[in-house]
Chains A and B, each alone.
Chain A
Amino acid sequence: MKTLEEKILDNRSIRNKTILSFSFFILFLIACFAGWNWLQNQPNDQGALKPLRTVLNANEKIFSAILSNDHLAKTYPLSAAAVRVRKNGDAGLKGDFDPDAWKLQLIRKPGDTLFIGLEEIRSLPRTEIVFDFKCIEGWSQVTHWAGVKFTDFTKRYGLDEQTLKKYTGLHTPDDQYYVGIDNKSMLHPQTILCYEMNGKPLPLNQGAPLRLIIPVKYGVKHLKRIGTIYFSDHRPPDYWYERGYDYFGGL
């Protein structure tokens, strides 16, 4: 049976041991305060304290390693989908916009840009998904979307070489909202260039005529009203990343 060790010790030794221990303890407390202070006074890196940003970037490496095409976001029956779909941001959706004049600008490489109309995108294989859309704020909602799988889109427009690069960048037509997404996530089988919600064409405030639906990411990455798509080996600019959020935003 395990018991507590006991012994007789003279008062002076007890006193010395106590002073030594408490000195260490007070040093530890000071170190905690100093560490916290040091952290708060570190320079910013894209809106986050630099040491924290370093760890967030390391987290991205760790968690993109477990990102797999076999790990699918849970899907739901159509009846589970919300009728009133929540929407948060409208950055990139302000100002005049004529959806009928819209064409998707696909930059395959410098000097090689395709302009693709919605009818052409609608003619590609159609994929539907009902999944739990997750906002970075902490709420989630089961919603129903349809469009073309990004992998079907890349097949149609010969983007194999482009998707070997690390990132895809997307901008709204007015360049006011923009995201960068790792291509491993873009090529995930549930990633969709979406033109329908609840079986009807996307409403304007949900990103008509074309938005991104990418269930392996937080909502901030599901860019509404896609204007431009391009590819890069370096992180494309990202609206919320610049405001202190994690670049990866992966779920």
Chain B
Amino acid sequence: MPSKKIIQKHPLAIRWFHWINFPVLAVMIWSGLLIYWANDVYRLGWGDRTVLKFFPDSFNKALNIPFRLAEGMSLHFVFMWLFAINGILYFFYLLFSKEYKFIFPNKRSFKEAWLVLLHDLRIKKGLPPQKKYNAAQRIAYTGVIFMGLGSLLTGLAIYKPVQLNWLCSLLGGYEWARAEHFILTLLFSLFFLVHLVQVILAGWNNFASMIRGFETRSISAEMKSSDANSTQPSGEKDITNAAT
């Protein structure tokens, strides 16, 4: 019977955490927009010059954001529980399953991440050997875990600035904590866009692995590539073309 090699890439639990987080984070960002509108003071610029206002009136109007503060708050302070619980369970799963070893950067990652970047920008060919994730992914995915923690803490600080006075002070005070919460949301949005592009570029096999858990490889191709890479130490088998 014709067969293929399958490589188990994402455990079931991680797939669930990932896909639950997606709509929950979407609701958090959406309701955050409804809340932020009521005091939309942030902008990119210097002095009197504004390069980009957060957010332009046309953006607010197009998404029907104005005058929905109460609705935004009610959604935000309900879905925050799902975001927090899912994130915390995910983090502990990473630790106990030792999956973090695939994700957290190691000592080579920071140097290799440059090579990955040059490769992705089509400046240089060839990737350093990798396991589940390349160096740039390790840094990005670990970063996004810390961003989640950051959103949780800055959010708590502006939600209960008196009861959690210590946390609020630690983050630089109420106004800073609000700005940090906002910046983290922008970073999440940016991460999402890059992630989306990378997933599209990486192709079907990679995307499917986030749903069915495994990638497939034709056996003949695998034999050729293992001949070519015979110098690679065992257990360091890389997944090529898994750029996300």
Which residue numbers of A lie inside 8 Å of B, CB to CB?
1-12, 14, 17-18, 20-22, 25, 28, 32, 36, 47-49, 51-53, 55-56, 59, 63, 66-68, 71-74, 132, 134-140, 215-216, 240, 243-246, 250-251
- Given contacts A5-B7, A10-B3, A53 and B165 within 8 Å (CB-CB): no
Pairwise interchain contact B131-A4, C-beta atoms closer than 8 A:
yes
Output the least CB separation between B42 and chain A (Å). Answer: 11
For the complex, is B229 an interface residue (Cβ under 8 Å from A)? no
- Across the interface, which residues of A come within 8 angstroms of B237, CB to CB? 3-4, 6
Known A8-B219, A55-B77: A66·B163 in contact at CB below 8 Å: yes
Contact of A138 with B38 at beta-carbon distance under 8 Å, contacts A245-B73, A246-B74 already known: yes
User: For the complex, what is the distance from the CA of A4 to the CA of B242, rounded to whole Å?
Assistant: 14
A-B pairs, top 8 by smallest CB distance, nearest first, are: A138-B39, A244-B70, A21-B212, A137-B38, A5-B8, A52-B74, A55-B78, A10-B1
**Residue numbers in A under 8 Å from B9 (CB-CB):** 4
B175–A71 CB distance below 8 A: no
Residues on A with C-beta less than 8 A from B165 are 71-74
Beyond A4-B8, A63-B163, whether A17 also contacts B212 by CB under 8 A is yes
Residues of chain A with a CB closer than 8 A to B212's CB: 17-18, 20-22
Shortest Cβ distance from A22 into B: residue: B211
Verify if B81 is at the interface (C-beta below 8 Å from A). Answer: yes
Q: Please determine whether A6 and B5 come into contact, CB atoms closer than 8 angstroms.
A: yes
Shortest CB–CB separation between residue B107 and chain A, in angstroms? 14
For the complex formed, measure the closest distance between the CB of B89 and the CB atoms of chain A, giving whole angstroms.
17
Please report which residues of chain B, range 85-130, place their CB below 8 angstroms from some CB of chain A when the two chains form the complex.
98-99, 101-102
Interface contact A134-B161, CB-CB below 8 Å: yes
CA gap between A135 and B214 in the complex, in Å: 50
- Asked if residues A7 and B5 are in contact (CB atoms below 8 Å), the reply is yes
Of the candidates B6, B7, B19, the one having the most CB atoms from chain A within 10 angstroms of its own CB is: B6
Q: Which one of A18, A56, A244 contacts B208 once the chains associate, using CB atoms below 8 Å?
A: A18
With contacts A9-B4, A21-B211, A52-B74 taken as known, whether A251 is within 8 angstroms of B162 at the C-beta atoms is yes
Q: How many A-B residue pairs have CB under 8 A?
A: 134
Residues of chain A with a CB closer than 8 A to B131's CB:
3-4
Asked if B74 contacts A49 (CB within 8 A), the reply is yes
The answer to whether A21 and B213 touch (CB under 8 A), given A3-B237, A63-B163, A71-B165, is yes
A-contact bits for B160-175, CB 8 A (1 contact / 0 none) = 1111010011000011
Which residues of chain B come closer than 8 Å to A6, judged between CB atoms?
5-8, 237
**Is B51 an interface residue when CB atoms closer than 8 A count as contact?**
no
Query: Do B160 and A63 touch across chains, with their CB atoms under 8 A apart?
Result: yes
* B residues in contact (CB < 8 Å) with A: 1-9, 19, 23, 35-36, 38-39, 41, 69-71, 73-75, 77-78, 81, 98-99, 101-102, 131-132, 160-163, 165, 168-169, 174-175, 178, 208, 211-214, 216, 219, 235, 237, 239
Q: Kindly state the separation between the CA atoms of A246 and B80 in the bound complex, as whole angstroms.
A: 15
Q: Please report the C-alpha to C-alpha distance between residue A63 and residue B175 in the assembled complex, in whole angstroms.
A: 21
A52 in complex: contacting residue of B2, B39, B75, B208, CB < 8 Å? B75
CB distance from A222 to the nearest CB of B (A): 14
Q: Given A3-B131, A56-B78, A251-B163, are A246 and B69 also a contact pair (CB < 8 Å)?
A: no
Q: What is the CB-to-nearest-CB distance from B95 to chain A, in angstroms, rounded to a whole number?
A: 13
| Chain B residues with CB below 8 A from A63, complex form | 160, 163
Q: Which of A2, A28, A71 has the most chain B CB within a 10 Å cutoff?
A: A2
Q: A59: which of B23, B39, B77, B163 is its contact (CB, 8 Å)? A: B77
Min CB distance A73 to B, Å, is 5
Q: Give A10 Cβ to nearest chain B Cβ, in Å.
A: 4
Q: Complex formed: what's the CA distance from A7 to B4 in Å?
A: 8
Contact of A4 among B7, B69, B70, B163 (CB under 8 A): B7
A-B pairs with beta carbons under 8 Å apart, 17 shown: A3-B235, A4-B239, A6-B6, A9-B4, A21-B211, A25-B211, A48-B70, A48-B71, A55-B77, A55-B78, A55-B81, A134-B174, A137-B69, A139-B41, A140-B175, A244-B70, A246-B73
Task: Give chain B residues whose Cβ lies under 8 Å from the Cβ of A22.
Answer: 211-212
A residues less than 8 Å from B162 (CB atoms): 71-74, 215-216, 251
* Residue among A4, A59, A72 facing the most chain B CB atoms (10 A cut-off): A4
**Which residues of chain B are near A18, meaning CB under 8 Å?**
208, 212
Known: A4-B132, A5-B8, A14-B6. A32 touches B70 (CB 8 A): no
